[in-house]
Structure 1
């Protein structure tokens, strides 16, 4: 083994420092890009209520099947109460479904939107045998052939994560 001159030792130390600096810079850059993907907007993933909206729509569709038009129009509040009882465990499950990802979903009936829905978008026409629509809470019902038919449910959703809060209103339709 040969002894290095002071100049050669200095150059070796300088070369080692450059290699270490390059490795640290590469590691820091990789660390900053962990979890980053140019095709995905991170806000669309974190706290987005899209999955909850789809699940609510399916839940309302399924729950309205279990409340057939067995209620006369005079018993519409009982029909709404049965629907709320059927929906509550499903909605509660959705509220806490993403806690492990630190996302909380607040889900409530949207009474104002339901009233607008009943007033503006109630199915009618000369060939239909449909009666009036009524919003009871956030649930819209219609009189059809003397029975109670559930058109759907209007929900307000607020999804909150550590960095973002999304708020939306959704109309989940029942079985037509």
Structure 2
């Protein structure tokens, strides 16, 4: 019986020694069971950008089959009109909770993206790119393709204000 008790005691010591590093790591690093949920409460800007990104991708799919390159301004107008319901919903979705979101097109960010991502010269695969009201479009075989959209997202909560400028890629980008 004495040997059995010693065996149990040795096993308990081994388990305690094995768990010590886990306990130390837990105490040193801290722990939160759902980090994403905590950050979403603190700053909803990331969620806004993700929703906008999906909407830009979805809405840019319909442009190439509809608008020839000569009608690229109409394509940009239609694209922005199609994106407007999502933009409006995001701006008002969290007002009851004290969060105000402002989403504006950023032509400068779009132009910067165009200058670094649209090749020019004779060796390019597609036609020229243009930035129109914050939307980068390209001539691809005579059709208008939406490549990217520059936006400024400003989120104001009771904890402060967050401002980000992002370029969201369309299907062609």
TM-score, normalisation: structure 1: 0.71
Contact 1:80 1:139 in 2 (8 A): yes
Q: Which residue of 2 aligns with 1:114?
A: 110
Structure number with bigger Rg: 1
Moved more, 121-130 or 51-60: 121-130
Pairing partner for 1:83 from 79, 83, 98: 79
Once the two structures are TM-superposed, the CA of residue 99 in structure 1 deviates from its matched residue by 1.6
> What is the distance in 1 between the residues matched to 2:86 and 2:40?
24
Q: How far, CA to CA, are the matches of 2:127 and 2:52 in structure 1?
A: 26
What is the match of residue 143 of structure 1? 139
CA RMSD of aligned residues (A): 2.3
Q: CA deviation at 1:65?
A: 1.6
Which of 48, 53, 70 is residue 57 of structure 1 equivalent to?
53
Q: Deviations over 1:37-94 (max 9, x none)?
A: 9635966632330000000000011111222343221110000000011001110001
The whole-number CA distance in structure 1 between the counterparts of 2:122 and 2:73 is: 27
Q: CA deviation at 1:147?
A: 1.4
Structure 1 counterpart of 2:90: 94
Question: How many equivalent pairs are there?
Answer: 140
Unaligned runs of 5+ in 2: 1-29
For residue 148 of structure 1, report the CA deviation from its aligned partner: 0.9
Contiguous gaps of at least 5 residues in structure 1: 1-36
Matched-pair contact (CA < 8 Å) for 1:48–1:166: no
Which runs of 4 or more aligned residues in structure 1 lie more than 2 Å from their structure 2 counterparts after TM superposition?
Answer: 37-48, 123-129
1:121 Cα shift? Answer: 1.3
Report SS of the residue matched to 2:93.
Answer: coil
